[in-house]
């Protein structure tokens, strides 16, 4: 999958992120993908997933499947 143009993306910070060193994740809904990035490094890399892939990932994270 090619990375979509993110120059006009409207990023939202996760409600679980804090301004005090919390884990900061931002997402941008782009048709037909969802992009994610680290809010502390907005010019750094971003990950782009299909909407189905993003929904699957969020479900797995919520279930603890990716806990370290």
Closest CA to 5 of 39, 33, 38: 33
Q: State pLDDT tens for residues 24-65.
A: 889 999 988 999 999 888 899 999 999 999 999 999 999 999
Range of the domain at 26: 12-63
Is residue 52 included in any domain, yes or no?
yes
Q: What is the pLDDT of residue 1?
A: 55
Flag whether 2 is in a domain: no
- Assigned domain for 5 exists: no
Domain count, the chain: 1
28 found inside a domain: yes
Residue 3 belongs to some domain of the structure: no
Q: What angle do CA 3, 62, 36 make, to 5 degrees?
A: 20
Give strand ranges (E) for the chain: 12-13, 25-30, 33-38, 46-50
- Torsion over CA of 30, 50, 61 and 38, rounded to 10 degrees? -40
**Does a structural domain hold residue 51?**
yes
- pLDDT, residue 22, reads 64
Name the H helices within 22-64. 51-63
């Amino acid at each position: 999958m090619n990375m979509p143009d993110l120059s006009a993306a409207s990023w939202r910070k996760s409600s679980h992120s804090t301004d005090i060193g919390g884990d900061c994740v931002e997402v941008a809904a782009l048709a037909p993908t969802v992009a994610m990035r680290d809010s502390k490094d907005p010019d750094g890399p971003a990950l782009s997933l299909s909407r189905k892939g993003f929904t699957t990932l969020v479900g797995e994270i919520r279930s603890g499947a990716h806990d370290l």
